[in-house]
């Protein structure tokens, strides 16, 4: 299993929970240029942890980022994510997630996108994943 598989499985899981379609309403790695509104999931840096070679948990920072035309949609997403996390262990695709926990706080904010005012939301989580062996 590699880090790309973990990110893909997490995006797919979030898509199911939010009733979104991957590569249409939710994206891996960022919201593509030209997409008016949507959600993106970005796997970030790995958090160093103790363990041994073989089966062990590994932890990553992740960000759920959204861009909307109105603030109400961002507030609805914030409410959904706040209700979803923390989340105990589950398996999705090839990945065994031990836990997903929120990190920090999140507030909608406004910014311009191609001259149009948009509302953004950034929600940070920490993923703990059971892996086998070294990751690529």
Question: pLDDT truncated to tens, each residue of the chain (136 aa)?
Answer: 689 999 999 999 999 999 999 999 999 999 999 999 999 999 999 988 766 555 668 899 999 999 999 999 999 999 999 999 999 999 999 999 999 999 988 999 999 988 999 999 999 999 999 876 544 4
Give the range of the structural domain holding residue 54, as residue numbers without chain letter: 3-132
pTM of the model: 0.89
Length in residues, the chain: 136
Residues with Cβ < 8 Å from 133, sequence gap 6 or more?
53, 54
Cβ atoms within 10 A of the Cβ of 53, count? 8
Phi, psi (degrees; rounded to nearest 5) at 122 = -125, 120
CATH of the domain at 79: 3.30.2000.30
SS3 61: strand
User: What domain count does the chain have?
Assistant: 1
């Amino acid at each position: 299993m590699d880090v790309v598989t973990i990110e893909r499985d997490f995006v797919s899981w979030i898509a199911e929970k939010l009733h979104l379609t991957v590569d249409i309403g939710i994206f891996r790695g960022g919201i593509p240029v030209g997409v008016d509104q949507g959600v993106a999931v970005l796997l970030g840096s790995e958090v160093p942890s103790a363990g041994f070679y073989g089966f062990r948990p590994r932890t990553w920072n992740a960000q759920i980022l959204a861009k909307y035309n109105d603030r109400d949609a961002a507030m609805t997403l914030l409410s959904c994510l706040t209700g979803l996390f923390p989340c105990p262990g589950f398996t999705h695709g090839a990945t065994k997630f031990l836990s997903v926990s929120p990190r920090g706080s999140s507030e909608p904010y406004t910014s311009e996108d191609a001259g149009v005012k948009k509302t953004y939301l950034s929600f940070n989580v920490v993923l703990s994943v059971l892996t086998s062996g070294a990751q690529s």
